[in-house]
Amino acid sequence: MIPRLKGTDDILPPESARWRRLLRGFDDLAARYGYDLVLMPVLEATELFARGVGADTEVVQKQMYTFEDRGGRSVTLRPEFTAGIVRAYVEAGGTGVMKVAASGPQFRYEQPQKGRRRQFHQVDLEYLGEPGPRADIEVIEMSHRLLAEAGVPGITVHLNSIGDASDRATYRDLLRDFLHGVANELSPDSRRRMDDNPLRVLDSKVDKDVVAAAPVPLDHLGAETAAHFAAVRSGLDAAGIGYEIAPRLVRGLDYYNRTVFEVFSPAFEAAQSSLGGGGRYDPLGELIGSRLPVPGVGVAMGCDRIVAAMPDLESPRLDVFVAVAGAAREDVASSWVRRLRAEGLRVDWAGGDRSLKSQFKAADRSGAAAVAVIGDEWERGEVRVKSMATGEEVTMDIEEAVAWLHR
Ligand code: AMP
């Protein structure tokens, strides 16, 4: 027996039922907001993430699955969607607005624990080509709505603005000065970062107390970024989406500017508890070689964590389980099952070579709302139908039974 690799999961029934609900919900949500489907390569050139995500980030330095392929190129299993999607937009000669939704596995070599896997699944939304706050508002609203519709309780949005590069030039000096002042108290990681990447020190978990008094980007926004952030806030207010300002939230990747956010729920408690996060990444396109700027906002939601925060639904898995009395009625049953499925009902059956008792057991296990028995009555144009919820059993005309099953 060869077991699965550490940090990877087999997602099997019955747990996979919640996955199906989440992924369908995501697909439906994306369609309602006008996001088209994109299917992205799992393998990308390592350079894409090194330049896009940032060579000094945790993801690139410590977590990528990078290897040389047989042609001697350095390739990487994608650790995230955004850089690949922006690459695809630029490569396709993208201009104007493109709103897309993607879903699939990501790979990061992490220390596995609850909610922190080496292969994990994300659903992702990207709103490209829109510099205005409408994109930020829409993406945050959708992140909230995805969770709300999945039944995740107590959703909290943490929101911040980290400004533009021009706002940050003076701010970084202030922050650096502050960090140098407290350097003795900082962790080695933060001390190493404080000159090249001081912003990252702000959301360091280990240095939380030391940086509590640090200056924050929000207090140093330029007029334009401040107005952008104010518009995002009032848009969220108008959408009825509550949020908390999180002045030290910067997110770990280099490509963000202006709006950044994360989404939490108390239903998922773990060391790493964010269910999703994203923000605006206007600098990303040029970081990966686009001649034109590519304004955009996106979010990636972690499905493994969301599913763990979703309630189990008691709703039946099938509309009807069809039981067959006697192998001789197998063909009749088979074509009736086909008809019901073609009409959109969720139907399963076990076949007439098994005893009715064993078929009823299978029906019970199947989580069907009803059982329909094809027996002697069939010859008179009737079928016996039993509601699993009430135990009530009625013999009905076949067409009547079909209508009843559809209700
Ligand atoms: P990030 O871009 O790292 O903030 O990731 C966005 C979301 O993906 C997070 O909020 C998590 O829900 C999820 N996520 C990130 N890394 C992992 C991981 N190693 N295992 C499971 N989920 C993850």
pLDDT in tens, 53-108: 888 888 998 999 999 999 999 999 999 999 999 999 999 998 899 999 999 999 99
Give the pocket of ligand 1 (CB within 6 Å): 80, 108, 110, 115-117, 120, 122, 274-277, 300, 302, 304-305
Q: To test the ligand 1 pocket, which listed residue (78, 106, 255) has its Cβ within 8 A of the most ligand atoms?
A: 106
115 C-beta neighbours (distance < 10 Å), count: 19
Beta bridge partners of 105: 121
Q: Residue 204 C-alpha to ligand 1 middle, in angstroms?
A: 16
Give long-range contacts, CB 8 A cutoff, 24+ apart: 65-68. 65/107, 65/108, 65/109
For residue range 188-197, what is the model confidence (pLDDT) as tens digits? 989 988 888 8
To test the pocket of ligand 1, the residue of 62, 80, 103, 116 to mutate (highest count of ligand atoms within 8 Å of its CB) is 116
54 φψ region: left (φ > 0), alpha (ψ -120 to 50), beta (else) = left
The ligand 1 atom at the shortest distance from the C-alpha of residue 117 is 20
- With beta carbons less than 8 A apart as the criterion, state whether 337 and 286 touch: no
Distance 253 CA to ligand 1 centre (A): 12
Provide the 3-class DSSP secondary structure of residue 117: coil
- For helices 133-149 and 223-238, the axis angle rounded to 10 degrees is 40
Per residue in 104-134, pLDDT (tens digit) is 999 999 999 999 999 999 999 999 999 999 9
Give the Cα separation of 90 and 86 in Å (integer).
6
With cut-offs at 50, 70 and 90, classify the pLDDT of residue 202.
Answer: confident
Q: At the top level of CATH, which class does the domain 320-405 belong to?
A: alpha beta
Give the span between the Cα atoms of 77 and 261, in whole angstroms. Answer: 25
Distance CA 51, CA 282 (A): 14
Going from the Cα of 375 to the center of ligand 1, the distance in angstroms, rounded, reads 53
Q: Please give the distance, rounded to the nearest whole angstrom, from the Cα atom of residue 123 to the centre of ligand 1.
A: 10
User: Given this model, what pLDDT does residue 402 score?
Assistant: 97
- The model's pLDDT over 149-158, given as tens digits with 9 standing for 90+, comes to 999 999 999 9
Q: Which one, of 305, 308, 343, 350, lies nearest residue 327 by Cα?
A: 350
- Domain positions in the chain are 16-164+222-309, 320-405
Q: CATH homologous superfamily for 16-164+222-309?
A: Bira Bifunctional Protein; Domain 2 (3.30.930.10)
